[in-house]
Amino acid sequence: MTKYDETVTMLKDLTDAKGIAGHEKEAREVMEKYISPYADEVYTDHLGSLIASKKGNSEGPKVMVAGHLDEVGFMVTRIDSDGFIYFQTIGGWWNQVMLAQRVTIMSNDGDITGIIGSKPPHILSAEARNKPVDIKDMFIDIGASSKEEAEKFGVKPGDSVVPYFEFTQMKNEKMLLAKAFDNRIGCAIAIDVLKGLKDADHPNTVYGVGTVQEEVGLRGARTSAHMIEPDIAFGVDVGIAGDTPGVSDKEADSKLGDGPQIILYDASMVSHKGLRDLVVKTAEENEIPFQYSSMAGGGTDSGAIHLTHNGVPALSITIATRYIHSNAAMLHRDDFDNAVKLIIEVIKNFDNEQLEAVRKA
């Protein structure tokens, strides 16, 4: 059995946990276990987002570091007479990555293994074989012979369905492969930021947050930010990697291992210039590698957080990741470590004077 260091063990436990939008309990419990030793208080909002606070100077600014607990998955909608399961996607899926993938149905009677299937290509017309299969034509096969048997197994409409993949440390041990890096990697960043500040003096209060329901509309970010009322916020998430065959620099130019991504713009937010400038200055002064990125489509929890209350200066700091929104994604350990280091260095000096400077930028 492979032996992992403390951080990789945490990443394995977080990504192995099952938690689609609206059913994040298992992932939340794992995050709570890891973040509690470094927090003064741990609680949830009424939608289920986890909030862990660490007090430095209670008169100083409130800093929110938010990753989301939920992963993309599916929900059971019906069972046909032959025992096949039909489903609704939860979060964004590309149909070409779904077929023949193993999934886990989370029933009240325990986990049930299934596989996503469709009509076999051997009986399709030549025209149909050349087209991607529509998601509406897919189903989940759990090996049941009838609706009654599927129900006897414990399956019912509303059950969560989660992609299955075993966490893997690649031959290059800094390359990590797992399901749900989107966005347990952000939750892990929040955990390690509080861990890194355990014995540090910081002129502020820090909130490490695991939000719920990001994949279906940034919902937990909004409710948790209303509860915290942060002065600044970092949305920490995965970003688009551009270092695979066929991707041009003008489409995506980030590379795994070249540092965390500072997001300039996405479909949910124009990043706050004052906060962005402070983060870039901090990275340069501490020789922490980083790369700029932007996304014409999609967004992060920062998009919801920055619109709460009177407005919150916010910035997304992301980890370049390959193959997101599929059964498995790949990222680089160094990018995670450097994201944690960068956020810690910003927080160590972020006082009321710096807050005013950020707001006036």
Residues catalogued as catalytic: 214
Separation of alpha carbons 246 and 57, rounded Å? 49
* Cis status, amide bond into 183, omega within 30 of 0: yes
Q: Which residues of 179-215 are buried (b: 16+ CB within 10 A; e: fewer)?
A: bbbbbbbbbbbbbbbbbbbeeeebbbbbbbbbbbbbb
Separation of alpha carbons 157 and 78, rounded Å? 6
Decide if 21 contacts 215 (C-beta within 8 A): yes
Where does the chain have alpha helices with state H?
6-16, 25-35, 126-129, 147-153, 181-196, 219-228, 273-285, 302-305, 333-348, 352-360
Separation of alpha carbons 92 and 90, rounded Å? 7
Q: Helices 333-348 and 181-196 meet at what angle, rounded to 10?
A: 40
Name the residue among 343, 320, 349 with its Cα closest to residue 234.
343
Classify residue 347 by burial, with Cβ atoms within 10 Å: 0-12, 13-18, 19+.
buried
* Sign of the alpha-carbon dihedral angle for 264, 269, 274, 276: negative
Give the pair of three-digit tokens for residue 59.
């008169």
24: three-class secondary structure by DSSP: coil
CA atoms within 13 A on the CB side of 335: 29
Residue with tokens 């939920």: 70
